[in-house]
Amino acid sequence: MEPTIILITGMSGTGKSSTLDVLSRRGWQAIDTDDGAWTISGRDGEPIWHARRIGDALDAVPPYGRLALAGTVPNQGVFRSRFTAVVLLTAPLETMLHRVATRTTNPFGSTGDERAKIVEDTAWVLPLLRASADLELDTSCHSIAEVADRIEAFVNAR
């Protein structure tokens, strides 16, 4: 039996880390790649996944294991074939900007410049994420528990 490995991706403020927390409490192994141990600086200074560390983590998932990996980086497509499913979390831009401006768990988005980057990136990154997603969930329409329920139902049906 193959392990279940999902990528939870989306723009800043869509609820990736919160969803990961719920799945972790439900017994999933969880890796939030916003943690600096999982990324290195890419050519343009943007964080990218540390390929060896991510590969080792994916290799370490036992048969019947369940891993939820959360993050959005330029090189995530390199690992696409390793994921059972890619789940895209979305929310209206205004909701995302409000969430990042008021959250206490991650400092990104607390400045005007960072929120401007989110606006700019959303215009061109979101269509790329959407093109590779197996499931898209708008987190402004569902509680985080409901988002986790829908993710689990989706992967269980595969």
Residue pLDDT, tens place only, 57-89: 999 999 999 999 999 999 999 999 999 999 999
Contact 95, 74 (CB under 8 A): no
Q: In the prediction, which pLDDT does 95 show?
A: 94
Q: In the prediction, which pLDDT does 88 show?
A: 98
Which DSSP category does 61 fall into?
Answer: P
**Domain range enclosing 85:** 4-157
Angle made by CA atoms 121, 87, 133, in degrees to the nearest 5: 70
Question: 43, 30, 3, 35: which is closest to 105 by C-alpha?
Answer: 35
Give the total number of structural domains in the chain. Answer: 1
H helix and E strand count, the chain: 5, 7
Query: Given pLDDT bands bounded at 50, 70 and 90, which one contains residue 117?
Result: confident
Burial label for 22, CB within 10 Å (0-12, 13-18, 19+), is: buried
**What DSSP element (H or E) covers 117?**
helix 112-132
Percentages of the chain per state (helix, strand, coil), in multiples of 5: 45, 20, 35
CATH number of the domain at 43, please: 3.40.50.300
* pLDDT of residue 106 exceeding 90: no
Contact 138, 88 (CB under 8 A): no
Query: Given pLDDT bands bounded at 50, 70 and 90, which one contains residue 50?
Result: very high
* pLDDT of residue 127 exceeding 80: yes
